[in-house]
Structure 1
Amino acid sequence: MVKIYLGPAGVPLSSKKRSTIDGIRTVKELGLNAMEVEFVQGVKMKPEAAEEAGKVAEELGVRLSVHAPYFINLCSDDKEKVKASKARILDTADRAERMKADAIAIHIAFYGKMSPEECYQQVKSELGEVVDTARSQGIKNVKFGVETMAKESAFGTIDEVISISKEVKGVIPYIDWAHTFARQDGKINYGEIIDRLQKELNLTHINSHFESLVFRNGKYVDEHLPIDNEAPPFRPLAEELLKRENLSITLICESPELERDALKMKKVLEELGYKFS
């Protein structure tokens, strides 16, 4: 049966203290078992703090992942911005390795003046260098997750993230289900995506985000809403996951309701027969 790791993007709203360690403890108290550590405004955590957070998470059985800063664009026409982007990815990976997180989520690039194919080739080259550098620095276990993106100007269709993961060792798709739903004009076939990840990449673990999105001017846009908005719906994903064998998944709730919506997702899974250990 599938193994599910479920929790919030960042420190839970109900956590009395706002530190990562207190967030991990609150996650455990809530009956959840995953947390994504948010470096979206920059990597400000000291190496020793990352190691301490990793120890606490390991003791409590909370699976960690990490979100890299938003200020990353490997397809910028400014070489200094590309260089700074690569440094931010490496800093994120270093802290993730120290806290024994399994993967980092990266908003990798915007097409800008490039065609999608030109941007793809640049991402492949620059990200390949980042992974090689990381491995040479002793960052051995962290996977580099290229996130699926909602904006049509961004690198991150489901095809792009699967393809880049085939070509660059150490890179995986980081599936944002709502972003993919938006990129596909408000349609998503969960089973088809899971099948592709298992068959084309032999993935046994999927890293993912879940939330709902705003509908404006005839399309879904990358503004997050509580999951009750059902854009996309969660229950069909839950049903699809529970059909699977030899698979595990991290579901990080990126709704503004964070742990409240993560607990709603947990309830749906339990109603369908899943038991959180």
Structure 2
Amino acid sequence: MAKVFLGPAGVPIAAQGKGTEEGIRKVKELGLNAMEVEFVQGVRMNQTTASRVGEVAREMGVRLSVHAPYFINLCSDENEKVEASKKRLLDTADRAERMGADAIAIHIAFYGKRGPEKCLRFVESQLGDVVDKARSAGAYSVKFGVETMAKETAVGTLDEVIELAKQIKGVIPYIDWAHTFARQGGQINYGDIIDRLVRELGLQHINSHFESVTPRKGKFVDVHRPIEYETPPFQPLAEALVRRDVSISLICESPKLEEDALKMKEVLERVGIKI
């Protein structure tokens, strides 16, 4: 049976305005055991604070991950944008390492003029360079998680994130279940995906996001909504986890953050998984 780390993407709504450390304490108080630190608008946390956040997380027994800034495109036609993206990733990796986070979620690139195949090869070389520089700078253990993406213009199919993980040591897929559901035309088989990650990459821990996405003009788009909409449904994922000996982080990216994380906890407990 899976070991599950469950919590919100960012400071719980009930603790917003009080900072990351209080957010971690609130996560523990709620009976959850994970939190993703959000750098989506930029890396605005200094190194000292990151170290202190890590101390609080260890004290509370809360597993941390980090979301890198949205302003990243390792396949831009403009070299300065690629270099700025790499700098943001290096800053994210530094803070993530200091706080003891296990992985970074990254919206890695858009295909642009290169198209999918050439873009993927270009991203591979640029991300490989980032990982090398991060390791040289002391970010030895944090993993670079390439997120599965809903948008068809973005690098982030399941095949692509697995391919990058195979090619670059230190890179893993960061599975956004709803994005994958959208990218696959409103279909998902959780068990098949988990089994593939374990079989092809030997993953012992899977980093992931969960939320619902929004239908629009015959397909699903990357507009997050509460899990009650079941696009995709959570129960089948819980049932798939019961039957597998794997560790997983489930970070709730629903607008209802901790409220929906607690609903997910109820479902997990109903199928026999204790948080």
Q: Which position in structure 2 is the counterpart of 1:217?
A: 217
Counterparts in 2 of 1:199 and 1:20: CA distance versus 1, 3 Å: same
Q: Deviations over 1:33-71 (max 9, x none)?
A: 000000000000010000000000001100000000000
Partner of residue 247, structure 2: 248
Aligned to 1:264: 263
1:151-166 equivalences in 2 (<5 Å): 151-166=151-166
How is 1:1-277 mapped onto 2 (pairs within 5 angstroms)?
Answer: 1-15=1-15, 17-245=17-245, 247-276=246-275
Report the number of matched residues. Answer: 275
CA distance, structure 2, for counterparts of residue 257 and residue 123 of structure 1: 33
Task: Note the C-alpha offset of 1:86.
Answer: 0.2
Deviation at 1:17, TM superposition (A): 4.0
Q: 1:275 corresponds to which letter in structure 2?
A: K
Listed as ranges, the gaps of 5+ residues in structure 1 are none
Query: Deviation digits for residues 172-219 of structure 1, max 9, x if unmatched?
Result: 000000000000000001011001100000000000000000101000
Distance 1:193 1:270 in 2: 22
Q: Distance in 1 between matches of 2:17 and 2:154?
A: 35
- Give me the TM-score of the superposition, normalised by structure 1: 0.98
Q: Which letter does structure 2 place at the counterpart of 1:34?
A: A
Distance, in Å, in 2 between the alignment partners of 1:103 and 1:117 is: 26
Partner SS for 1:270: helix
Write the letter of the residue equivalent to 2:257.
Answer: L
Deviations 1:122-170 (A, max 9, x none): 0100000000000111110000000000000000000000011000000
Structure 2 unaligned spans of 5+? none
Could you tell me how far apart the structure 2 residues matched to 1:30 and 1:181 are? 29
Q: Give the CA deviation at 1:2.
A: 1.2
Cα distance, 1:270 vs structure 2: 0.5
Instruction: Tell me which stretches of 4 or more aligned residues in structure 1 moved more than 3 Å.
Output: none
CA deviations on 1:88-146 (whole Å, 9 max, x unpaired) are 00000000000000000000000011110000000100000000000111110000000
Within 1, Cα distance between the matches of 2:274 and 2:177?
23
Amino acid across the alignment from 1:109: A
Indicate the RMSD between aligned Cα atoms, in angstroms.
0.6
Counterparts of 1:135 and 1:36, CA distance in 2: 22
Q: Structure 1, residues 224-244: CA drift from partner, whole Å, max 9, x if none?
A: 000000000000000001101
TM-fit CA distance, 1:18: 2.9
